[in-house]
Amino acid sequence: MQTPSTSSVSADYQGSLDDYRITSASEISSTLKRLVDSGVVLNLSTPSGAALSSTLWTMDAQRGVLTFSADANAPQLNALVESSEAMVVGYLDSIKVKFDVRGMMLVHNGKFVAISCAIPSEIFRFQRRDCFRVRPLLRSEPVARFRHPATADLELSLRVLDVSIGGCALLLPLDVPTLEPGVLLSPVELELDADTHITVPLHLHHLSSMSVESRGMKLGCEFHKASNESLRLLQRYIDQTQKKRRMMALD
């Protein structure tokens, strides 16, 4: 099994890859089961550049088999399956999960198409840099406004779920066309409160399922090359929101 490229890791993580490597069968099974249960969107990509967004449907530890969801009409599906290997990347809260898969096969089951492959012999888990996040106060109703990257005439106004100095989480309603992990959203106008309006590109890292009541998906985004002035306004907003929450807790 090949390990993830060192160059793709070194920019964000320090030390040996062995610090992040998991080879215990029980730990691998536990991590894969969490990916199944959470329904997070995963990015599958090959060295030749074929890529596909998917979710992990099943994990059969006894047979040593994984099954990923697949869209039969996806243009890069065949190129992905025909490749000798693919890398899988996804997020479990603040943990980045990364592993290689081999021996991919298309499985047809009535109306459904899936990708079947062997369970990896190792997985890498990377703790993202700690960054204090705050949930906006309900009365402020902060939003992020931008045009859908795949539909230029579709302007979105998404609710901001939480924000940190490094990024934010947005709520994507179920009736809005989905977004692909890895896309750069620009420009994005963030309106956090009456005094905090900034414009900053957002790099979409991952999508994850939320409760049925939320009626949407959670978008995990990172600020891309935010200006010093934007960072100053963000830090002030985070500090003030934290203070207001502490005062409300004392009332």
Q: What is the pLDDT of residues 33-64, one digit of tens each?
A: 999 998 888 888 888 888 888 899 999 999 99
H or E stretch at 44: strand 42-45
Choosing from 93, 127, 161, the residue where a domain stops is 127
Q: Give the 3-state secondary structure of residue 69.
A: strand
pTM of the model: 0.55
Domain membership of residue 67 (yes or no) is yes
Residue 10: φ, ψ to 5°: -60, -25
pLDDT given at position 201: 93
Share of the chain above pLDDT 70, in %: 85
One domain, residues 143 and 100: no
The set of residues, in sequence order, having a beta carbon less than 8 Å from that of 202 and lying 6+ positions away, is 144, 146, 167, 168, 184, 185, 186, 188, 221, 222, 223, 224
pLDDT given at position 147: 95
One domain, residues 160 and 186: yes
pLDDT at 127 exceeding the cut of 80: no
Q: What is the pLDDT of residues 63-109, one digit of tens each?
A: 999 999 988 888 889 889 998 899 998 877 667 889 999 999 999 87
Number of domains in the chain: 2
User: What Å distances lie between residue 70 and 54, 81, 150, 180, CA to CA?
Assistant: 6, 11, 20, 14
One domain, residues 24 and 108: yes
What is the spatial distance between Cα 93 and Cα 95, in angstroms, rounded to a whole number?
6
Average pLDDT, the chain: 83
Domain membership of residue 123 (yes or no) is yes
Nearest alpha-carbon partner for 18 in 129, 123, 127:
123
CATH classification at residue 93? 2.30.110.10
pLDDT at 6 exceeding the cut of 60: no
Choosing from 127, 154, 177, the residue where a domain stops is 127
